[in-house]
Amino acid sequence: MEQKKELIYLQIANGIERQIKHGVLKVGDKLPSLRTICIEQGVSLSSSSQAYLELESRGLIESRPRTGYFVSFSHKNLREVPTTSQPRLTNASEDPEEIINTITSNAARANIFLSSGVPALSLLPVAKLNKGMIQAMRSLPDSGIHYERQGNPKLKQQIARRSLSWGGKLREQDIVTTSGCMEALAFSMMALAERGDTIAVESPVYYGIPLLAQSIGLKVIELPTHPVTGVELDALEKAFKKNRIKLCLFVTNFSNPLGSMMPVENKKALVKLLEKYNVPLIEDDLYGDLYFGDHRPLTCKSFDESGMVLWCGSFSKTLSAGYRVGWVAPGKFLEKVKRIKHYHAISCNALAHETIANFLENDRYENHLRKLRQTLHRNTLQFHRFIGDYFPEDTLVSRPQGGFHLWVEFGKRTDTIELYNQLIQHKISFTPGRAFTLQNQYNNCLRLSTGLMLNDKVEGALKLLGKMASR
């Protein structure tokens, strides 16, 4: 009953948001009273109140005492989206590791983490996971002390079941569990490529991916990428013709740092293109569960009939980064990946994997995801509002439909590494754009994390960031 009630108020809130987005409701317009909503929608006063509270938390409307509710934010006031990136289609190796090490070493100095790669601790079910860990110790044979060479069967079964939400046809035996998504990506790369081979990635790209590829002797080509639709497929085909690309690695849903989501038509076309050139795809679907819309987006794996797509993910961004619970469904490369895992890892953390498996067995995970998605959606809208209020007029910013990252582009004169060095003096951190490429580009860009608990300090940090960028 609770779930149905929640769905009703979200339907009302989302409907009003769409009207604001399409300009039907404009800034300053008065909204219908709560009682009018009750009559028009046939819902309770509680549901209409919850809907307006939800819209307030998203920063779209405001309450005025004795007057009612009014639209306070317009999607038309959003800053423009950056254009498609233009990296050089050649192997590059200008290492951003020094920047990354600086940000990591400065983490202890910051108290407002606009650079965070995971949601804030307060957004995660810590107490429930702690309790689940104790239960796992009791339920596992020998308290989970011994190797679990084949992977936790319960966990693999739950991952396979959850794949139904994007049209997956996976079975328990199709999945290899790993210690986090990065290990899944590493095992997949090692199974598919040899030292000296070339891998194609998005640009900008999460900095861990090209550094991982280089560490195992692979060359990296960055591809033009649009902040809304992802990798440009025409550019990919040109790269296939010009270079001997051994594999691709793309984040097709809510990429880090752009937040792009490849449309369904592009995912279908990408799979066909890969089959045409016989190039496998490592699909990093780390953020797929953090969608803002009505349903989970499909994956390239949804259209994979030949087994060329290796679908990877983890629970690091939704439950616990420290537990290191990830997986890969390697398709026709299953045996190769299993051998690589045996050579490099033998086993995963039995206790952590059992804990997560138990958490997935009932509605606890879905209930948690629903709340987390709502919070991230609200935060993203509020960040857009702050950026519109405080950042320079020529600022461009991405508009992700999920996840918790925003890509911000300032005018060419702004150096975000210099800006970072200024902000860290105020104990505020973000991630400069130069970290997300192996080429000399994105020096006027940065990534912001919206996975925080919003408060006056966060707004103040963004206001200061905008003020310094304006200088």
Q: Write down all domains in the chain, each with its CATH number in brackets.
A: 2-76 (1.10.10.10), 86-122+369-470 (3.90.1150.10), 127-364 (3.40.640.10)
In terms of C-beta density within 10 A (0-12 exposed, 13-18 middle, 19 or more buried), how is residue 42 classed?
exposed
Q: How far apart are CA 173 and CA 243, in angstroms?
A: 35
Strands 245-250 and 281-284 come out as parallel
CA 291, distance to chain mean position in Å, is 9
d(CA 131, CA 359): 10
> pLDDT truncated to tens, each residue of the chain (471 aa)?
334 445 788 889 999 988 988 889 887 889 999 999 999 889 999 889 989 988 988 888 888 877 889 888 776 668 899 999 999 887 766 778 888 888 888 888 889 999 999 999 999 999 999 999 999 999 888 888 888 878 999 999 999 999 999 999 999 999 999 999 999 999 999 999 999 999 999 999 999 999 999 999 999 999 999 999 999 999 999 999 998 999 999 999 999 999 999 999 999 999 999 999 999 999 999 999 999 988 899 999 999 999 999 999 999 999 999 999 999 999 999 999 999 999 999 888 999 999 999 999 888 999 999 999 989 998 998 899 899 999 999 999 999 999 999 999 999 999 999 999 999 999 999 999 999 999 999 999 999 999 999 999 999 999 999 999 998
Burial of 316 (0-12, 13-18, 19+ CB in 10 A): buried
Residue 139: count other Cβ atoms within 10 Å of its Cβ: 14
* Strands, E assignment, 89-242: 112-113, 176-178, 198-201, 219-222, 225-226, 230-231
